[in-house]
Chains A and B, each alone.
Chain A
Amino acid sequence: MIDTLLLYLFAGSAVTAAALMLVLHHPMRVALALIATMISLAGVYALLGVHVIAVFQVLIYVGAVMVFMVYAIMLLDVREHSYTRRFSRLLVPGVTALAIFLAIVAHGLWRELPPPRGGRAGALFNVVEFSKMFLSDYWLHFELVSVLLISAVVAALAILKVGRRKHG
């Protein structure tokens, strides 16, 4: 009972914070709203029994990605009119296209979604089982991810080098 209540609470706060992201002015407030969404989603994952992902959601997303983002906002504190005029010219066509997209996907989703099988899959997602499976069945994906990370580091260094050359 209390689990269901908490699940609704976390899901509601995630959607509310995501909606706030669209209307807030300053990027720092948008970043804080996104952090609130991510922490609420971590709560949802924990209630679903997927504790590994809940922990990594907080560690990687809130701890790494959003801290990086907040640093970038502090670094680029340019006061300009994109703070006061929030929306671009695409507001009306964007909302219209989104409404059509929502209608199409909701229509397809409601018709073709398989019924839930029921039963909680808690044992499958505890840390020991999950890491054994991750490093045995999915080892190739693990290695590919490390290659991706190295190439991202090289890409970031290359981008900064281009900028440095341009500015002397």
Chain B
Amino acid sequence: MLVAVSFALFALGLLGVIVRRNVLVMLMCMELMLNGVNLSLVTFSQQMANAAGAVLVFLVFVVATAEISSAIPIVLLLVRHKHAMDIGAYADLKG
């Protein structure tokens, strides 16, 4: 049951990244995907009675923190530059 929940969280996060327009909401949906993965890691490590999964969850926590700490300044600069939080306004980043 919990694997299905984690799968649902990951899928909802992925859908949010694809369909929403606001940059900050997209970042939050990425966090939701990480949370889904964390739940599946904890579930499996509990079922297998193995703590490696729980250690990996800690690493995911740190990676999420590092990601946010560098993503938020980038978003701040982009919004200050373009005066828009809509992802469509950043179309000129396309190569």
Contact = CB atoms under 8 A, between A and B. Distances in A.
A160 interface: yes
A20 to B, nearest CB: 10
Interface residues of A, number: 82
A155 to B, nearest CB: 5
Interface in B33-75: 35, 38-39, 42-43, 45-51, 54-55, 57-59, 61-66, 68-70, 72-75
Interface class of chain A by DSSP: helix
A50 to B, nearest CB: 6
Interface string A79-101: 01111011110110011011001
Contact of A38 (B35, B55, B63): B35
Contact of B47 (A73, A83, A117, A130): A117
B61 A60 contact: yes
A5 interface: no
Interface in B62-92: 62-66, 68-70, 72-77, 79-81, 83-88
A22 B25 CA distance: 9
A133 B25 CA distance: 37
A153 interface: yes
Contact of A27 (B22, B39, B42): B22
Given A18-B8, A83-B22, A153-B69, A125 B54 contact: yes
Contacts of A87: 19-21
A6 interface: no
Most buried by A among B14, B48, B72, B81: B72
Contacts of B57: 53
A89 to B, nearest CB: 8
Nearest to B47: A116
A88 B32 contact: no
Given A37-B35, A68-B68, A73 B62 contact: no
Contact of B20 (A34, A88, A125): A88
A98 B14 contact: yes
Interface pairs A-B: 3 shortest CB-CB: A152-B66, A94-B18, A82-B86
